[in-house]
Structure 1
Amino acid sequence: MVPVETSRFERTLLAIALVFIIIIAVKMTSYIISLVLMSLIITLLTVPALVWLKKKGLSGTLSVAVITLAACLVIAAILYISVFSFQLLLHDMPQFQQEFSVRLAELRTILSTFGISIETDSIRSIDLKEIFSAGVAGVTTIAEGLMFLFFVAVTSFFMLLEAPRLTERFEARYGKDSQTVKQFGRMSGYIIDFIVVRTETNFIHGILFGGFLTVMGVHGALLWGLLTFLLGYIPYIGLIMAAVPAIFFAWLQFGIPGAVAVIVVVCILNLIVENPIFSYLTSRKYEIPALIVILSVIFWGWLLGIVGMLFAIPCTLICLLVLQLSDDLRWINDFLGVGHLFEEHTRKKDD
């Protein structure tokens, strides 16, 4: 406990030191924190389904079992599509290598008309198969990935099973109509709303982008659509990262016109899906300043790796909500320009 006689400056320094200690502790235990965080996000994502199944008359245990089975089937389908598409790309890599040499020759001819000369001998020696395999292996090994998913699945199962009981205990401890319970409900509802809407938006985006690439005939279209769905959780840069391999393979197959066509479609989908559709699906606009979003992605990515990047916005929202619940720290949200989010939500709840 901090002594009462300490000055405000000393308490501020102590709070800053505590934050740094927490950050260091999280960094040192990033694997466990990432596992728990991903399990928590999945639990929040499936809570609406749990409530719906219980309203249909299913017991809590049976509802959790149904959701777990459905989630396992979805994850299995994602893994199958990823592995199958990846194997097809590796099988056709010799063809891509030849197309790569042809496209480089075309590019050199085009640049020479503008008086630009490039050496393509060293570029031709690039082995696309080695780069592609190394890039995937650099993310994670198969054993580590499967082990991580197994622990996430087990943790999510028991979290979902325990969620209703935790709510009952929380209400019994503080009172069903207490301000603490209302604030907790506001926090969880806010995060669930964002995650569900973000998932729906990413699904639409991935289907449209993957469908266009399939019609166009780009190799690995299903894989790039799936990548769009997964990386869409990363603000701004996620969709760009997902589009890069699709643009590259479109260039290999169809030359510069193919790459330009994919770029145009990416821009159109970003304008349509990320604005009108996202705004239509969500009950509010999550207008967070771009600087805060970018810094959040950088910070959580450094702290927790790829999981932190994927769930940077939910993590940031949780931190902002905690600040909003404190009368002494609420000014930080106003200073960052996000206080209006909670004010709008409060008005809607009151109405």
Structure 2
Amino acid sequence: MPRALTILLGGAAAVVVVAGVRAVAWLVAPAMLALLVVIAISPAHRWLRGRGAPPWLATLTVVVLVYGVLAVVAVTVLVSGARLVSMLPEFARDEIVLRAERAIGGIDRGQLAGFLGGLLTELTSLTTSLVFLLALLLFLGVEVGWAHSRLAEIAVDRPRLREALVEFAHRTRRYVLVTTVFGFVVAVLDAVALAWLGVPLAVLWGVLSFVTNYIPNIGFLLGVTPPAVLALLQHGPRRALAVLLFYGVLNFVVQSLIQPRFTGDAAGLSTTVTFLALVFWAWVLGPLGALLAVPLTVLVKVLLVDLDPAAGWAAALLRPPRTGGTPTAPEPRTGD
């Protein structure tokens, strides 16, 4: 088959696949997030089994651990959100808020009703996705103990596919570990700084900073906006500027200079590829696509690039630059 026709058919197939994934994003995004969480915590299951714990106890411990972490985050957000609502009357006489109220007063009621209806629909969809995610976490957590036996069965007929899946799990765990460590450090420093600056709900904004750290490149902007706005409303522009400066310096140094070097090495992707993946997967899967951009790109890479011996040129374009300045042969893969 002519190369041009092969490229044309491959591009058409890719468009069809992407369109199909986007059409069922409500299913794919929570499923991939649940898979990512289970892959990240699977070493805990193996550790418990290695210490002699029965399979049911190891599985139950892992599931309870995941649900416990989610419950702590949910309670923190709910309590802080309730406190934020109780603080809103304090801003009622603020000049900025009065201007905002006058601007809102000019909004057409029909448009406002449409906006509220759309917001209610989004909240309903979010609740459905959350329930679906929790159910998937339970089922995948129960089956995590059989992952190695299933990989062994795959290796009988498709050994390279087994190696690719093992590589995906390994890189995903490394990426999650690196991102979690840096996110925790940044979140603690942000929360301490906000408490020192007198910004309310410092713990909530620290949790938000931790979560948005999983979003490459633009997570900083999402994490700094709420505390900066709250500092502006309560303390004025100087305090808001101080929040922006602290967040800017800390997050630029950690998330833009230090962390990408580790996450790029962990995921095997360059910084440019990571940014393009963020834009692409956010467009395909919505907000969850931004969180899953790097793991999904790693999955596509190991299945479409690493499995093909003739795709070494594509691997060279996707991976981060090698230190040393001279090209080296591809590293041999092992399925540990």
User: Does the alignment reach a TM-score above 0.5?
Assistant: yes
User: Relative to structure 1, is the Cα distance of residues 8 and 224 closer, same or farther in structure 2, using a 3 angstrom cutoff?
Assistant: same
- Alpha-carbon spacing, 1:30–1:348, altered in 2? closer, same or farther (3 Å): closer
Match of 1:169 among 141, 145, 150: 150
Q: For each residue in 1:119-173, what CA deviation from the matched residue of structure 2 results, as whole angstroms up to 9, or x when unmatched? A: xx85462469x99xx89x8497555434322221221222233233232132134
Within 2, Cα distance between the matches of 1:74 and 1:164? 21
> Secondary structure of 1:234's partner?
coil
The SS at the match of 1:324 is: coil
Matches within 5 A, 1:290-309: 290-309=271-290
SS in 1 for 2:196: helix
For 1:39 and 1:214, locate their aligned partners in 2 and report how far apart those are by CA, in whole Å: 33
Q: Percent identity?
A: 21
Q: Which residue of 2 aligns with 1:62?
A: 57
In structure 1, what is the equivalent of residue 315 of structure 2? 333
* Cα distance in 2 between the residues matched to 1:182 and 1:198: 24
Which residue pairs with 2:102 in the alignment?
125
Call closer, same or farther: CA 1:139–1:316 in 2, change over 3 Å: farther
1:14 pairs, out of 9, 16, 26, with: 9
Structure with more contact order per residue of length (Cα contacts < 8 Å, sep ≥ 6) = 2
Q: What is aligned with 1:40?
A: 35
- Give the letter for the 1:333 counterpart: A
The question of whether the paired residues in 1 share the 8 Å contact of 2:59 and 2:145 is answered with: no
Map of 2:167 onto structure 1: 186
Aligned to 2:133: 152
- 2:45 is aligned with what amino acid? L
Structure 2 residue aligned with 1:234, among 211, 215, 218? Answer: 215
Partner of 1:87: 82
Judge which range, 171-180 or 201-210, deviates more. 171-180
Structure 2: which amino acid aligns with 1:83?
Answer: L
- Bigger mean CA offset, 23-32 vs 281-290: 281-290
Task: Note closer, same or farther for the CA distance 1:246–1:74 as it changes in structure 2 (3 Å cut).
Answer: same
Shift of residue 249, structure 1, vs aligned partner: 1.2
Q: What is the alpha-carbon distance in structure 2 between the residues aligned to residue 156 and residue 315 of structure 1?
A: 18
Q: CA offsets, 1:39-88, max 9 Å, x none?
A: 11111111121122222221222112112112212211211111221122
Q: Structure 1 residues 282, 336: closer, same or farther in 2, change over 3 A? A: closer
Instruction: Identify which range, 316-325 or 13-22, moves more after superposition.
Output: 316-325
SS in structure 2 of the partner of residue 92 of structure 1: helix
Q: Note if contact 2:154-2:161 (Cα within 8 Å) is conserved in structure 1.
A: no
Deviation at 1:180, TM superposition (A): 4.3
Change (3 A) 1:279 1:123: closer
User: Residue type of the partner of 1:189?
Assistant: H
- Match of 2:83, as an amino acid? L
Deviation track 1:248-280 (CA, whole Å, cap 9, x = no partner) reads 111222222211221222123214533787489
Q: Within the alignment, does 1:251 sit opposite 2:246 as a pair?
A: no
Q: Which moved more, 1:332-341 or 1:223-232?
A: 332-341
* Alignment partners' CA distance in 2, 1:289 and 1:188: 19
8 Å Cα contact 2:178/2:263 also seen in 1: yes
CA distance in 2, matches of 1:276, 1:163: 36
Q: Distance in 1 between matches of 2:61 and 2:261?
A: 29
Aligned-partner Cα distance in 1 for 2:85–2:200: 11
Is it true that 1:269 corresponds to 2:250 in the alignment? yes
Q: Where has structure 1 moved over 6 Å in runs of 4 or more?
A: 279-283, 347-350
Post-superposition Cα deviations, 1:325-348, rounded to whole Å, max 9, x if no partner, equal 21233322323454859x799369
Judge which range, 58-67 or 332-341, deviates more.
Answer: 332-341
1:27 to 5, 22, 32: 22
Q: TM-score, normalised by structure 1?
A: 0.79
Relative distance call for 1:48 and 1:228 in structure 2 (3 A) is: same
Cα distance in 2, alignment partners of residues 226 and 345 from structure 1: 39
Whether the 8 Å CA contact 2:183–2:209 is kept in 1: the answer is yes
Amino acid at match of 1:346: E
Total equivalences in the alignment: 322
Q: What is the SS of the residue equivalent to 1:311? A: helix
Q: Which residue of 2 aligns with 1:71?
A: 66
State the TM-score, normalizing by the size of structure 2.
0.82
Gaps of 5+ in 2: none
